[in-house]
Structure 1
Amino acid sequence: MKLNTLGLPVKETGVIAAELNILLANFQVYYQNLRGLHWNIRGKRFFDLHLKFEELYNDSQLKIDLIAERVLTLGAVPLHTFGDYIKNSKLTVGKDIHNDEVAITLILDSVSRLLKIERVILSQASEINDEGTTSMMSDFIVEQEKTVWMLSAWLEQDI
């Protein structure tokens, strides 16, 4: 088995980098959705949600950079065009959303889908002892599970 300079198997590392690029594309769509929600939310909960959406998009922007840098660390090239993002994203694109419940539902659905992708990457990275990717995915998952709980509570839904 051929190893890269990180000591990881080349073939499996390429697969993980490709999955990280899928995650990157999904995070870019998620980020843009959050920006749109931040700009377009209306109603009595405007002030609270406007700030919350800003908090979420700032966090996703940091995660986007971490994902892209991990792709580079693994020896691949991160996706970086809008066409690649749309082609590789599984998230719903939110357009002209003004209603608070519709906005929160979109975010909840998006985070749930991101978690599914991250769990696949976590499993793949664990199999080859890729601690850098495993650690990053674990951190993301812990934070996003809490976000799912909070969004579900806001919507008065069970997890």
Structure 2
Amino acid sequence: MSTNLIGLDTEKTKQLADSLNELLANYQIFYMNVRGYHWNIKGDNFFELHTKFEELYDDLLLKIDEVAERILTLGHRPVHAYSTYMEIASIQEKKNVTDGKTAVGHIVESLAELIRKQRELLSVAGDAEDEGTVALMSDYISQQEKSVWMYRSYLGE
């Protein structure tokens, strides 16, 4: 077995990096969607949602950087072309969303997809004995589960 400089199996880190790149692509699409919601939201809850969406995209931007840096730490390269993000992401681009409830519904769906992907990554990272990725995914999941609850509560679900 060949290991990288941080002591992880190089074959397993390739699989991890591929999964993390897919996660990165989903984060990037989601980030741009939320920026669009922030810019285009209209209606009674404008001020509340405009602020909430800004908080969310600021958090997403931090996570995007952390995921990309984790890929680099594993000895691989993060994808960095929007065309690649569009090819490999499961979260779809949302355009011209102005209704708050619609935007929040899309946010809940996107968070659920990220949580699903991160749970898969937990398993792969655990098999690779990659505690760094396990810790990162665990932190993201616990934060996002609470966010799903809060956004669903806003929707009255």
| TM-score (normalizing by structure 2) | 0.98
Q: Name 1:55's counterpart in structure 2.
A: 55
Question: How far apart are residue 92 of structure 1 and its match?
Answer: 2.1
Q: Name 1:99's counterpart in structure 2.
A: 99
Q: Name 1:28's counterpart in structure 2.
A: 28
Distance 2:119 2:22 in 1: 13
Q: Name 1:108's counterpart in structure 2.
A: 108
* Partner-residue secondary structure (3-state), 1:92: coil
Question: How far apart are residue 5 of structure 1 and its match?
Answer: 1.3
* Partner-residue secondary structure (3-state), 1:112: helix
Contact 1:40 1:96 in 2 (8 A): yes
Size of the alignment, in residue pairs? 157
Q: Name 1:45's counterpart in structure 2.
A: 45
The percentage of aligned residue pairs carrying the same residue is 45
Q: Name 2:156's counterpart in structure 1.
A: 156
Distance 1:82 1:92 in 2: 13
Across the aligned residues of Structure 1 and Structure 2, the Cα RMSD in angstroms comes to 0.6
Distance 2:49 2:124 in 1: 36
Residue by residue, what CA displacement relative to the aligned partner does 1:13-54 show, whole Å, maximum 9, x if unpaired? 110011000000000000000000000000000000000000
Contact 1:112 1:148 in 2 (8 A): yes
Q: Name 1:75's counterpart in structure 2.
A: 75
| AA in 2 matched with 1:113 | E
Alignment pair present for 1:135 and 2:124: no
Q: Name 1:120's counterpart in structure 2.
A: 120
* Partner-residue secondary structure (3-state), 1:4: coil
| AA in 2 matched with 1:26 | N
Distance 1:85 1:119 in 2: 20
Distance 1:3 1:153 in 2: 46
Question: How far apart are residue 96 of structure 1 and its match?
Answer: 0.4
- Runs of 4+ deviating beyond 3 Å: none
Distance 1:3 1:72 in 2: 15
Structure 2 residue runs of 5 or longer lacking an equivalent are none
Structure 1 residue runs of 5 or longer lacking an equivalent are none
